[in-house]
Structure 1
Amino acid sequence: MPEALPPDQASRHFAPLIQSDLSQLYSRRAARLHALAEGHDHAPYLHWAARVTEVQATLLPEAGACGPLAGGAIAHAGHCMGLLDRLIERLAQDVPAPVAPHLAALRGLAAAERLAATQALAAGRFDAVPAAIAPLLWAALSLQCASAARAAPLPPGGSAEPPVCPLCGTAPVASLILSGEHHGMRYLHCPLCESAWHMVRAKCSNCGSAADLDYLSFDTAEATVRAESCGVCRGYLKVVSLERDPHAEAVADDLATLALDDAVAGEGFQRTGFNPFALPG
């Protein structure tokens, strides 16, 4: 069943788009990844994702505005290639043994090959890029896009609630149920430009139907992370609740619950978004 809206949500003022400070966002994400890694079956990878996020934060001063905000345009122009070079250099200073061969492979690619791979990711051709290096290419592309998004004029507000980011057109990583000023409201988080856009809770984030929604989790109905599945379009996207855990974070909590994706996919649903550290393909 669809979740009921909080009683006052329909009449409350809300921001159609939220752009968190990137330094704070990366810090929060890295801390959450490290915390979720404790006792996790995939702890080394969660710690590695945290390390990549920490390096993204150190590169913020080098990622300025670069023209049109679109992953394809930024990738085509090669604006993020310098960031990728610095990302690789800094990660190489302290790289876990299992990751070292993949980082070396990325370092060994010619500049034209790196650019072509980044352009493929920006175009959604994830299967064209080796899964082991794709998240690092995405990290540089995302850092540039996120910085560009914060320098770009915001689109005019309206009643439209698109299934993809209204700024860059990317599918979301997850839904967030916020606390604080926007308590109880749902925002979809973009894994490319790191913006979040509002969408009411009582409908599918993909097709907009409210006819046949269900919420699945390994825990109780009050779990912090659940999968919202739609019987109409057969899609699903995770819902991460900051009301239930104020330390939760969209990318981190989604990445730490990939086993839930496997279970929901086993029920015949297809994910309508993706995680930057577990790209499809």
Structure 2
Amino acid sequence: MTTTLLQPGQIEAAAGSIPELRLPPADLFLMRARRLEQLAAGHTLGNYLRFVAHLAHAQQKYLDTGLAASLPAPELLAQCREYRMPPLAPAGLARPSGWRDTARHLALAVQDSLPQAGQAALQPVLEGQDAWLEAQAGYLLDGSLHELDAAAAPVIGAALQVHWVHLARQLDSTQVARPEHPSLCPVCGSHPVSSVVRIGGAENGLRYLHCALCSSEWHVVRAKCSNCDNTRGIVYHHLEGGDNGVRAESCPECQTYLKIVLQDKNPQADPVADDLASLALDLLMDETGFVRSGINWYLIQGSV
């Protein structure tokens, strides 16, 4: 089922009143884990959603330990802002020390929640050499998905997320400029997972893209394609009889789609958890010929 979107200007907030950037909250992974547990009940992907919930709980535990990595030097942050560059872009930032140990700890934390085949899939993370883990991280960060160990990727990605969320939380929003490429995260330059329409306060009714790596969010108006800025022919797709709180927004110009999660339908909705739980909508969009413009690191599928 499809629904045509509103036209530009019909749902935008007054100029100057929009919070452009939302940095990740302290309880990010805890809230995500709780939402995944809600979604798992009676879901056909229930076992996998519960596994990811367990992984998110482990991510929160390691985020709460107070990791040692610190931000780049103030002069570099200022230069990035001046030239509208993401200050935490992986290409210009050494991977935080300890991320490989975090990956191994996360794999160990979730191992017992998996069947035997799943436990075997995590052995490369637990036993792999540092060079292998670094290579896998590089494939994930670069979007080289054909070279990635897809079974190990959720844990490797989860470890990277912990460290980049930790870094992003040390920033002040004034240190980050609007991105030169609005389809990419202004904090780290990564692709979004999905977009989310927030409720409450100054953000009420506003759409934000949610970063796959650092979980920062940046504002994009709802009446245009989040991938190419086209404003014509944007269409919503949803599963008939399914959850109308998650829709796929398609663009006829670039032939891509990205999901939009509506918190007014469910205040607990999470842009990562609800995206993962609506895999059937991705299958529908694949049949229509549209290509996904974002990526969910908990389940590697689609293209970026």
1:56 matched to 2:59? The reply is yes
Structure-to-structure mapping, 1:103-252, within 5 angstroms: 103-154=122-173, 155-158=175-178, 162-181=182-201, 182-219=203-240, 223-252=244-273
Conservation of the 8 A alpha-carbon contact between 2:52 and 2:298: yes
SS in 2 for 1:173: strand
Deviation at 1:221, TM superposition (A): 10
Q: How far apart are the structure 1 equivalents of 2:6 and 2:243?
A: 12
TM-score, normalised to structure 2, is 0.84
Q: How far apart are the structure 2 equivalents of 1:64 and 1:85?
A: 17
Identity of aligned residues (%): 34
Q: How far apart are the structure 2 equivalents of 1:222 and 1:126?
A: 29
Conservation of the 8 A alpha-carbon contact between 1:251 and 1:275: yes
1:92 matched to 2:92? The reply is no
Could you list the runs of 5+ residues in structure 2 that have no partner in the other structure? 73-87
- Choose which of 15, 19, 25 in structure 2 pairs with 1:21: 25
Number of the residue aligned with 1:33: 36
SS in 2 for 1:239: strand
1:80 matched to 2:88? The reply is no
Runs (4+) of structure 1 exceeding 6 A deviation are none
Corresponding letter in the other structure for 2:125:
L
Q: How far apart are the structure 1 equivalents of 2:179 and 2:55?
A: 36
Which stretch shifts more, 4-13 or 158-167?
A: 4-13
Q: How far apart are the structure 2 equivalents of 1:143 and 1:73?
A: 18
Count matched residues. 280
Number of the residue aligned with 2:45: 42
Deviation at 1:226, TM superposition (A): 0.3
TM-score, normalised to structure 1, is 0.91
1:268 matched to 2:289? The reply is yes
| Distance of aligned partners of 1:207 and 1:108 in 2 relative to their CA distance in 1, 3 Å threshold | same
Q: How far apart are the structure 2 equivalents of 1:63 and 1:273?
A: 28
SS in 2 for 1:143: helix
Conservation of the 8 A alpha-carbon contact between 2:246 and 2:262: yes
Q: How far apart are the structure 2 equivalents of 1:77 and 1:158?
A: 25
SS in 2 for 1:211: coil
Could you list the runs of 5+ residues in structure 1 that have no partner in the other structure? none
SS in 1 for 2:192: coil
| Distance of aligned partners of 1:73 and 1:84 in 2 relative to their CA distance in 1, 3 Å threshold | farther
Per-residue deviation, residues 1-32 of structure 1 (Å, max 9, x unmatched): 3325565613461211001313x211111111
Deviation at 1:222, TM superposition (A): 8.2
SS in 2 for 1:15: coil
Deviation at 1:137, TM superposition (A): 0.5
Corresponding letter in the other structure for 1:134:
A
SS in 1 for 2:209: strand
Deviation at 1:129, TM superposition (A): 1.5
Corresponding letter in the other structure for 1:173:
V
Q: How far apart are the structure 2 equivalents of 1:160 and 1:71?
A: 17
Which stretch shifts more, 153-162 or 231-240?
A: 153-162
Deviation at 1:71, TM superposition (A): 2.8
Conservation of the 8 A alpha-carbon contact between 1:16 and 1:157: no
Q: How far apart are the structure 2 equivalents of 1:126 and 1:8?
A: 36
Deviation at 1:206, TM superposition (A): 0.6
Which stretch shifts more, 221-230 or 248-257?
A: 221-230
Conservation of the 8 A alpha-carbon contact between 1:64 and 1:144: no
Q: How far apart are the structure 1 equivalents of 2:112 and 2:179?
A: 48
Which stretch shifts more, 104-113 or 52-61?
A: 104-113
